[in-house]
Amino acid sequence: MHSLNRGKCTKQGMHLLVYYEDVDELRERLISVWCELDQSVVNHAIDKWKRRLSACVDVDGGHFEHYL
């Protein structure tokens, strides 16, 4: 188990849990991580989301995973 002074950080199994002091600190971290993302990763996620959304609409909001 780890702990970090900036916020709190603990490691449980394969998961790293970080607790921020306030919403502003969380917002800063999210923006920082977002800016580091490769645009091709973002584009791929958007493309996959469009396909899933379309499949959901095709079955009127029902289960659609088996169509993907």
Residue 54, in any domain of the structure: yes
pLDDT of residue 12: 56
Number of domains observed in the structure of the chain: 1
Q: Is residue 13 part of a domain?
A: no
- Read off the DSSP letter of residue 66: G
Domain assignment present for 32: yes
Q: Answer whether residue 12 is part of any domain.
A: no
* Alpha-carbon gap, residue 38 to 62, rounded angstroms: 33
pLDDT at residue 6 tops 50: no
Pick from 56, 50, 57: nearest CA to 66 = 56
Quote the domain boundaries for residue 44: 24-59
Exposure string over 45-60, b if 16+ CB within 10 A, otherwise e: eeeeeeeeeebeeeee
Residue 17 lies in a domain: no
Q: Answer whether residue 65 is part of any domain.
A: no
Residue-wise pLDDT for 9-54, tens only, equals 555 555 677 888 899 999 999 999 889 989 999 999 999 999 999 9
Residue 10, token pair as written in the block: 């603990």
Check residue 15 and give its pLDDT: 64
Whether 50 is in a domain gets the answer yes
